[in-house]
Amino acid sequence: MELIVLGSGTSVFHPHRAAAGFWLQTNAGSILLDCSADAPHRMAEENLDWINLDAIWISHLHLDHCAGLAPFLFGIKWAKGNGNRRQPLKIFGCQGIEKLLKAIDECHRYQLFEQPLTIEIHEINPSDKVGSFDLLPGLQVETVSTPHRAESLAIRLTDSDGLMLVYTSDTGYSEDIAQFARNADLLILECSFYRNKPTLKHLELADAMRIAQIAQPKELLLTHLYSEWDGIDLELEARKLWPGKTTAARDGRRLNIKRTG
Ligand SMILES: [Zn+2]
Ligand SMILES: [Zn+2]
């Protein structure tokens, strides 16, 4: 698997950090994890094959995680070469995605769903005990509710080689989330604040490192960074609290996820 950070930032604009989006290349296909308003442009900027993107995961309905979805569908509708793809575009994630897209669609008759490609939407009820299912053939997925919004979900993806990636998206502190992420090859965890967080619905560094302590991922990628992180050596601060490998997300960073040891 390869992960490309499209946006390491938040809903508050930052000169070097776009809002949430991660391109994940797997042996089963490509997946966009969250689609902020910045994400479609960032995919083009990174020269990614967005026209053949296989699936999109939306963790929750805060606009820094989903506001690029309608523009992405509108862009792909008018893109050259869109008729060459044979596979559907699968949109997976929280409840409310379809309602949001239809509301935008209807207010100006954008005809977002009238495409040369098929669009499939699968919404997951956070209270359902969801077993594992295949997001793409051979790519297994499980989800769990996070203490952030009623609809918000974390996702765990396991490919056919057994490589495991967990993306929490926005979350408050939760031991359930830490257990869900146990032994991940890569854990993408939010770390909105350095300290003195103003809300229980996000993490600060000490919370994130408590989760890492329990989860023991092979690598931890901290993201969703507000500007209060500017000028702070996040990786150095993280190492003081957990000895494992912590990487600070920055836009354009590419991580190779492979079996170690
Ligand atoms: Zn957010
Ligand atoms: Zn949020």
Q: What is the C-alpha to C-alpha distance for residues 12 and 117, in angstroms, rounded to an integer?
A: 34
Ligand that comes closest to the CA of residue 11: 1
pLDDT of residue 5: 99
β-bridge mates for residue 57, sequence order: 33, 92
Question: 19 φ, ψ to 5°?
Answer: -75, 175
Please give the C-alpha separations between residue 32 and each of 20, 24, 36, 39, 49, in angstroms, as whole numbers: 10, 6, 10, 9, 11
Convert the pLDDT of each residue in 152-184 to its tens digit.
999 999 999 999 999 999 999 999 999 999 999
Q: What is the C-alpha to C-alpha distance for residues 191 and 36, in angstroms, rounded to an integer?
A: 18
Indicate the residue type of 110: Y
Q: Please state, as a whole number, how many other Cβ atoms lie within 10 Å of the Cβ of residue 243.
A: 10
pLDDT of residue 233: 98
pLDDT of residue 108: 95
pLDDT of residue 244: 98
**CA 45 / ligand 1 centre spacing (Å):** 22
**CA 200 / ligand 2 centre spacing (Å):** 12
Ligand that comes closest to the CA of residue 146: 2
**CA 148 / ligand 1 centre spacing (Å):** 10
Q: Please state, as a whole number, how many other Cβ atoms lie within 10 Å of the Cβ of residue 242.
A: 19
* Helix (H) or strand (E) segment spanning residue 246: strand 246-248
**CA 81 / ligand 2 centre spacing (Å):** 34
Ligand that comes closest to the CA of residue 62: 2
**CA 46 / ligand 1 centre spacing (Å):** 22
Ligand that comes closest to the CA of residue 225: 1
pLDDT of residue 261: 57
**CA 136 / ligand 2 centre spacing (Å):** 26
DSSP state of 88: P
**CA 65 / ligand 2 centre spacing (Å):** 7
For the cut 60, the answer to whether the pLDDT of residue 31 exceeds it is yes
**CA 258 / ligand 2 centre spacing (Å):** 29
Structure tokens at 260: 């170690």
pLDDT of residue 234: 98
For the cut 70, the answer to whether the pLDDT of residue 72 exceeds it is yes
**H-state helical runs in 20-68:** 39-45, 63-66
Convert the pLDDT of each residue in 113-153 to its tens digit.
999 999 999 999 988 766 789 999 999 999 999 999 999 99
Q: Which residues have CB less than 5 Å away from ligand 2 (the ion)? A: 62, 170
**CA 198 / ligand 2 centre spacing (Å):** 14
In the predicted model, what is the mean pLDDT of residues 206-219? Answer: 98
**CA 11 / ligand 1 centre spacing (Å):** 6
**CA 80 / ligand 1 centre spacing (Å):** 32
Q: 81: pLDDT confidence band, cut at 50, 70 and 90?
A: confident
**CA 183 / ligand 2 centre spacing (Å):** 25
Ligand that comes closest to the CA of residue 171: 2
